[in-house]
Amino acid sequence: KDKEGNEIPGYPTEDGEQPKKDIPGYRFVETKKLPNGDIEHVYEKVKTSHKDKEGNEIPGYPSEDGEQPKKDIPGYRFVETKKLPNGDIEHVYEKVVAAPQQKPAKQSPATKAAKGLPNTGTEDHSSLAALGLLGVLSGFGLVASKKKED
């Protein structure tokens, strides 16, 4: 029975003198010999707590009856589960310090080389260009002087 005198589900009263049992989620407290000669083993529910590494209860996560699994707690990272000498379960967490978010440097898109025709014949031919220009001007001069004569 539990400390309040209630039968523990799945563990009914048995005839005869029975040894105490290991009951998941409960811890043995004592064995009583009742006035009528019956033997009663008394158990209480173990408690599960969620604490930080310094042993402080994590706000918003109070102790719970029975063996409870670890939880995902925002802002905390699970470290370990301890079974205390009294049978209680303690899940230990450490506070996660959020590192300041470093914004990645803006990456400029890779510039692709412009596709075009290859530059061939770009050597400096200024003398050739001057000669060509002189020829064109001479041609205009001849045409203009012939028109005046007519």
**Dihedral over Cα of 3, 23, 29, 47: its sign:** negative
Whether 24 is covered by a domain: the verdict is yes
Check whether residue 32 and residue 58 sit in a common domain. no
Residue-wise pLDDT for 7-53, tens only, equals 888 787 787 778 888 887 788 888 888 888 888 888 888 899 999 98
Q: Helix (H, G, I), strand (E, B), or coil: what is residue 26?
A: strand
Check whether residue 60 and residue 84 sit in a common domain. yes
Instruction: Say yes or no to pLDDT of 144 above 70.
Output: no
Q: Which residue has the higher pLDDT, 142 or 81?
A: 81
Share of the chain above pLDDT 70, in %: 75
Check whether residue 12 and residue 32 sit in a common domain. yes
Whether 119 is covered by a domain: the verdict is no
Instruction: Say yes or no to pLDDT of 113 above 70.
Output: no
User: Which of these, 123, 39, 129, 47, lies nearest to 84 by C-alpha position?
Assistant: 47
**Domain termination residue (choose one: 95, 114, 129):** 95
Whether 112 is covered by a domain: the verdict is no
Check whether residue 52 and residue 91 sit in a common domain. yes
Comparing 8-17, 65-74, 81-90, 136-145, which segment has the lowest mean pLDDT?
136-145
Whether 139 is covered by a domain: the verdict is no
d(CA 88, CA 63): 10
Q: Which residue has the higher pLDDT, 58 or 132?
A: 58
Check whether residue 40 and residue 55 sit in a common domain. no
Check whether residue 62 and residue 30 sit in a common domain. no
Domain carrying residue 21: 1-45
Whether 8 is covered by a domain: the verdict is yes
Check whether residue 57 and residue 23 sit in a common domain. no
Whether 68 is covered by a domain: the verdict is yes
Whether 80 is covered by a domain: the verdict is yes
Cβ-in-10-Å burial (0-12, 13-18, 19+) of 100 comes to exposed
- Please state the domain count of the chain: 2
Whether 6 is covered by a domain: the verdict is yes
Q: Give the residue-averaged pLDDT of 85-97.
A: 88
